[in-house]
């Protein structure tokens, strides 16, 4: 539930709890015989102020003077919840005080509590004591922390604890439903940790925190993967940063012993392909992390070895294999970034007329180097000459355009429904048949199924291992890359983290038709765990918006993960391309821009 102006009620809306007394001591310390009171405040309309220029202090809490008055009772803590929009270091709390109904003095300390499922939880900070006298004027008073309290972005409960005197200090508040949580707490015992059981009332005190935005700070520099050679892809991997970066900027540098390092014009992505002018130099990459507070100081990688000139190739394109989390060219350990599309028209039209135009166009006009084709097992196993001829044309057309090709088992019958929940014996037989038929074709790979579903990961692992063995026997002495699909309609490969398929030269594939929030869960965590990942289908659907696709393209680009979009024909739903071979808008245009602006390597 949300209150007016976005106020978050959180734990303030929980059922009223009875007031508890005598919270156990957290620390012993001498105290003057003064009353104790703690106050903590919930998020209000005046809570979050817009960030100001870098270096200025910011605030969160209630910065306005409330219209109602109240006096502090003794031996009680009261708190409210506010949102800290970015990491920061809180230096002080400020509270509006005025003389109460009794004369004398009342001591207080500021407190910060963490949030625990919408309720005040762990104690995070206690200010130095401040004593307010009834003779002091009304106004804002500072409660300074001995050292700044570093906080991540999130929700926190801030307030004060006051001494044993009653009603000396008064405070201001405005009314907001269940805005304040409170309970009894002896001042001499210190603020309890955790906060403890509490009751609520509708008083939102005039109290706020002052913090300095915390910029990202580098803990370890970025790394560069790839063979330092002309036209060989270089992949940047993030360094480690504090304070929750939300974005990264890159600048590749060309270096030598005499001139130092100079920025390479236009080389501002996480990927870079060295050109002839880089030969004889080393490369470094500068990474700058940013969050809501701004950009941190850049971190620079170690230099690569000296960039070598372009070497002649003997196979076009090269066989692919796996090295760590990377798909690489065999014999070079050079990362190969696959970018392309699914093409299915022959399955629907019973000819390859469209493919004869589309496959070359994908390479020449879009910069693609990968075609994915979902095939049927029955015509392959039956030796259907026409059907096998269409597949032969796919192999020939992609080879001529220096593209890789993935044959992925889709269904038993041509253009049939995806009935099987996981690969069956027909699929295994057909994949082995194609592996034997295209034995020695370095650009052909095999995906075990398009979209397994309604099956547990642990169930398919032994099936996958048996199928891989069958394909390897059929393809011997060659070793084509084999692609292992996720479960949950191909989305989820996270099971491979704890239960990987125990075969070499395999990569895991995902169809991330899901909200972008789940990308890390379904495939990002597997990649971060060191598994090679390839996205073999995506398109705008009710589960994946166009905005989500843009996030997907950025997410995979940051990590050097390859992908193939759906579908490179006008009959696809939705299509990437029109019958004129022009991209559709906005889906096709978005994908084509990503394909053209991402550095490519064909292996030729």
DSSP state of 44: -
Residue 55 pLDDT more than 60? no
Angle, vertex CA 521, rays to CA 371 and CA 464, nearest 5: 55
Mean pLDDT for 46-69 is: 68
416-472 pLDDT, tens digit each = 898 899 999 999 999 999 999 998 899 999 999 999 999 999 999 999 999 999 999
Residue 44 pLDDT more than 50? no
* pLDDT tier, 56 (very low <50, low <70, confident <90, very high otherwise): low
119-167 pLDDT, tens digit each = 999 999 999 999 999 999 999 999 999 999 989 889 999 999 999 999 9
Task: Tell me how far apart the alpha carbons of residues 99 and 83 are, in angstroms, rounded to a whole number.
Answer: 30
248-270 pLDDT, tens digit each = 999 999 999 887 999 999 999 88
* pLDDT tier, 9 (very low <50, low <70, confident <90, very high otherwise): very low
Task: Tell me how far apart the alpha carbons of residues 362 and 251 are, in angstroms, rounded to a whole number.
Answer: 29
Mean pLDDT for 473-478 is: 93
326-331 contacts: CB < 8 A, separation 24 or more?
326/225, 326/235, 326/532, 326/560, 327/481, 327/507, 327/532, 327/534, 327/562, 329/601, 329/603, 330/479
Tokens encoding 73: 């009772």
Tokens encoding 270: 């996480």
Radius of gyration, alpha carbons of the chain: 31
pLDDT of residue 600: 53
In whole numbers, what is the pLDDT of the chain averaged over residues?
Answer: 87
pLDDT of residue 604: 52
**306-315, 328-337, 446-455, 477-486: lowest mean pLDDT where?**
306-315
Check: CB of residue 80 under 8 Å from CB of residue 204. yes
Domains of the chain: 4-213 (2.60.120.820), 218-300 (2.60.40.2700), 320-597 (3.20.20.80)
């Amino acid at each position: 539930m949300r209150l007016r102006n976005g106020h978050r009620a959180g734990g303030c809306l929980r059922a009223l709890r009875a007031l508890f007394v005598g919270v156990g001591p957290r620390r012993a310390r001498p105290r003057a015989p003064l009353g104790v009171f703690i106050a903590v405040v919930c998020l209000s309309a005046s809570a979050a102020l817009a960030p100001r220029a870098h270096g200025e202090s910011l605030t969160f809490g209630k910065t306005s003077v409330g219209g109602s008055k109240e006096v502090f009772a003794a031996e009680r803590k009261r708190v409210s919840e506010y949102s800290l929009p970015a990491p920061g270091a809180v230096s002080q709390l400020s509270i509006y005080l005025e003389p109460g109904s009794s004369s004398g003095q009342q001591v207080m300390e500021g407190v910060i509590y963490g949030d625990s499922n919408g309720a005040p939880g762990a104690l995070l900070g206690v200010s130095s004591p401040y004593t307010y006298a009834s003779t002091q004027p009304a106004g804002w008073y500072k409660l300074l922390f001995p050292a700044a309290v570093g906080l991540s972005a999130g929700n926190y409960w801030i307030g004060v604890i006051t001494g044993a005197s009653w009603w000396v200090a008064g405070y201001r508040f405005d009314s907001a439903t269940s805005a304040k949580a409170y309970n009894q707490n002896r001042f001499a015992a210190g603020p309890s940790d955790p906060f403890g059981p509490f009751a609520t009332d509708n008083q939102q005190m005039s109290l706020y925190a002052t913090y300095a935005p915390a910029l990202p700070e580098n803990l370890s520099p970025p790394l560069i993967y790839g063979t330092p050679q002309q036209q060989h892809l270089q992949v940047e991997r993030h360094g480690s940063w504090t304070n929750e970066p939300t974005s990264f900027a890159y600048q590749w540098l060309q270096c030598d012993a005499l001139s130092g390092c100079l920025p390479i014009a236009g080389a501002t992505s996480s990927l870079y392909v060295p050109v002839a002018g880089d030969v004889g130099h080393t490369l470094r990459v500068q990474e700058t992390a940013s969050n809501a507070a701004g950009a941190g100081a850049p971190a620079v990688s170690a230099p690569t070895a000296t960039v070598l000139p372009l070497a002649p190739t003997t196979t076009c394109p090269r066989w692919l294999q796996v090295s760590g989390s990377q798909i690489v060219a065999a014999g070079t350990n050079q990362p190969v970034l696959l970018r392309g599309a699914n093409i299915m028209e022959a399955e629907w039209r019973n000819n390859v007329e469209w493919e004869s135009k589309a496959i070359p166009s994908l390479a020449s006009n879009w910069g693609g180097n990968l075609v994915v084709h979902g095939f049927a097992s029955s015509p392959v196993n039956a030796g259907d000459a026409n059907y096998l001829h269409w597949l032969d044309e796919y192999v020939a057309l992609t080879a001529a355009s220096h593209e890789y090709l993935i044959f992925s088992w889709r269904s038993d019958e041509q253009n049939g429904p995806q009935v099987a929940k996981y690969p069956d014996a027909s699929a295994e037989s057909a994949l082995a048949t194609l592996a034997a038929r295209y034995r020695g074709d370095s650009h052909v790979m095999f995906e075990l199924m398009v979209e397994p579903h309604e099956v547990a990961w642990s169930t398919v692992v032994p099936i996958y291992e048996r199928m891989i063995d069958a394909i390897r026997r059929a393809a011997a002495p060659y070793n084509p890359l084999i692609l292992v699909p996720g479960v949950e309609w191909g989305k989820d490969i996270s099971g491979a983290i704890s239960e990987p398929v125990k075969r070499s030269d395999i990569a895991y594939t995902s169809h991330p038709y899901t909200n972008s929030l789940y990308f890390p869960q379904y495939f990002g965590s597997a990649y971060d765990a060191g598994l090679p990942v390839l996205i073999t289908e995506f398109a705008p659907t009710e589960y994946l918006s166009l905005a989500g696709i843009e996030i997907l393209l950025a997410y995979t680009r940051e990590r050097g993960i390859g992908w193939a979009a759906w579908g490179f024909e006008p009959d696809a739903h939705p299509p990437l391309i029109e019958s004129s071979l022009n991209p559709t808008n906005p889906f096709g245009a978005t994908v084509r821009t990503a394909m053209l602006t991402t550095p490519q390597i064909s292996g030729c």
